[in-house]
Chain A
């Protein structure tokens, strides 16, 4: 009789279900990526490796505009959100609790708690009124909205880094006659800089990926890449959308990997 090793941590069928789950999680994405390179249009037929859909998407002026708009908004929102979040993090960490600290924390993290559709609707109402009152309808509304919901994503990594920082370094700087600003500039800032970059990248990704709030807040013709794709759904689903999705996915994975690497090398 064979001696099967008894594994204490194995539960019946779990490994199978887990692997099925992993496969199921990646299969649709992998399919999408693979078929973005499919020469033919249908899923059933493989028409050879082709970059046709990427080329088409690239040459599509609507796509070009949407891409540029997405990048502009993401960059602006990331910049604003990270700056604001850094200041907020400095004000709320490593300090004895003061009255209203919880309020600040709730306000800053509010986008994580409120369903996006609710915020989207709220912004729609307010911005519509403002548009009517001022007649202005630039990118400003989108940038404002994106900046707001990106703040918690920049805030949390920076806060985590601050809390894990060795306090004695700043004390040492003060002991060596550094003013508050000098301590910040020469000691604190360099140390939290990786976390700031990480937070900025996270905010960039979040802004790039946003669908609901952008869809509600944008004026006509102000498409970002995700809203463009959503609009394409009303017509035929072309592999062009696959190509755009794959490109966006690639960018996201790149930024996320960089984020993970930065987060790990800081120590």
Chain B
């Protein structure tokens, strides 16, 4: 395995409870996160992303497997000996300390001289633009401000890796979007490896260098936002990220055969190779469905069209009965003019139609 990874989990498993009541939170998870990377663990609640984060932080110990930091095995290390800091979902700011005291806490525990602690705390507060609140009690701050204090506090000891446990979930939409940009900026500026946990796929796509999609205690796919979006390797990932259409078909001789016999050529570009023969699921994003001239594409009947401003969502019935959703961009000032019952012809751009194992 690549030992230049900043933090790594190797075959990490975590089970709670005994016997028949045992719950597996993480099932043989392995992931290597590179130095300076903004890595996001994405998945629905209960998928194990927070458990994995807590294993890296040291609040939980894996039932089996290892956690490595820069190649060194830290599995047995208590949290206060790992050069890893956490931004908690609840912020966990110390209510009896001021903002500055909170931010300087880590360095104080490490025994740094008072001058250094004060200077670094001030620097961090400037980084998150809270210099004016230095002497306030944390209870006097708004949610967004508290979030920034939590961030400054975790950054102050200059950790190797920063863990962020759904830090933006308590913020309102507008503030959240602002903070997403802020966090990205800070990560780029400090160069610290960020491991970010969220259930919001839009957030993950916006901020990450790479995403690990998780479900049921397993990592299903790791890749760049583009890879994840365009090249989902499993039905779950395809469904979880953005909107996807699923079409049942059979692969035969380099083409997909719909239940009624209609043949669709599978473009073998983008390194997908020749898909194996047999039953399969085709996926295509709604915005990639194109209308084409009769005779060139697959005929489909318009079931319903809904106007959505920038585009129109149309439900189209394929031969064989299955319905897909197409997002057709509206011409400026107008709308795509399709009537219910009308027959149109769909083309699937090269590479847009992906094949998944059934």
Contacts and interface: CB of A to CB of B under 8 A. Distances in A.
B is bound to A? yes
Interface of A: 1-6, 8
A8 B92 CA distance: 14
A16 B58 CA distance: 25
B307 interface: no
B44 interface: no
A1 B76 contact: yes
B75 A6 contact: no
What are the 9 A-B residue pairs with the smallest beta carbon separation, nearest first?
A5-B61, A6-B78, A3-B76, A3-B61, A1-B76, A3-B75, A8-B59, A6-B58, A6-B61
B59 A4 contact: no
Interface in B68-100: 75-76, 78-79
Contacts of A8: 59
B216 to A, nearest CB: 24
Contacts of A5: 60-61
Contacts of A1: 76
Interface string B41-69: 00000000000000000111110000000
Nearest to A4: B76
Contacts of A2: 76
Could you tell me the dominant secondary structure of chain B's interface residues? loop
7 contacts: A3-B61, A3-B75, A4-B76, A5-B60, A5-B61, A6-B60, A6-B79
Contacts, number: 17
Contacts of B79: 6
Nearest to B58: A6
Nearest to B79: A6
A2 B77 CA distance: 11
A182 to B, nearest CB: 51
A65 B76 CA distance: 68
Contacts of B59: 6, 8
A4 B78 CA distance: 9
Most chain B CB within a 10 A radius of its CB, from A1, A5, A6: A6
Nearest to B61: A5
Contacts of A3: 61-62, 75-76
Given A3-B76, A4-B76, A6-B58, 6 more contacts: A3-B62, A4-B61, A5-B61, A6-B61, A6-B78, A8-B59
Contacts of B61: 3-6
A6 B61 CA distance: 7
A3 B14 CA distance: 13
A3 to B, nearest CB: 5
Contacts of B76: 1-4
A112 to B, nearest CB: 31
Contacts of A6: 58-61, 78-79
A2 B79 CA distance: 16
A141 to B, nearest CB: 53
A61 B78 CA distance: 67
Contacts of B62: 3
B313 to A, nearest CB: 49
A3 B58 CA distance: 11
A1 B66 CA distance: 12
A3 B59 CA distance: 13
Contacts of A4: 61, 76
B63 to A, nearest CB: 9
A8 B57 CA distance: 12
A1 B58 CA distance: 16
A6 to B, nearest CB: 5
B227 to A, nearest CB: 34
A6 B54 CA distance: 12
A110 to B, nearest CB: 36
A1 B75 CA distance: 10
B91 to A, nearest CB: 17
Nearest to A8: B59
A5 B60 CA distance: 7
A99 B230 CA distance: 74
A4 B79 CA distance: 12
Nearest to B75: A3
A5 B59 CA distance: 9
B127 to A, nearest CB: 29
A8 B60 CA distance: 9
Between B59, B60, B76, B79, the greatest number of chain A beta carbons within 10 A of the residue's beta carbon is seen for B76
A1 B78 CA distance: 13
Interface in B200-229: none
Nearest to B77: A6
A5 B63 CA distance: 9
B16 to A, nearest CB: 12
Interface string B257-279: 00000000000000000000000
A23 B78 CA distance: 32
Contacts of B60: 5-6
A4 B62 CA distance: 10
A3 B78 CA distance: 10
Contacts of B75: 3
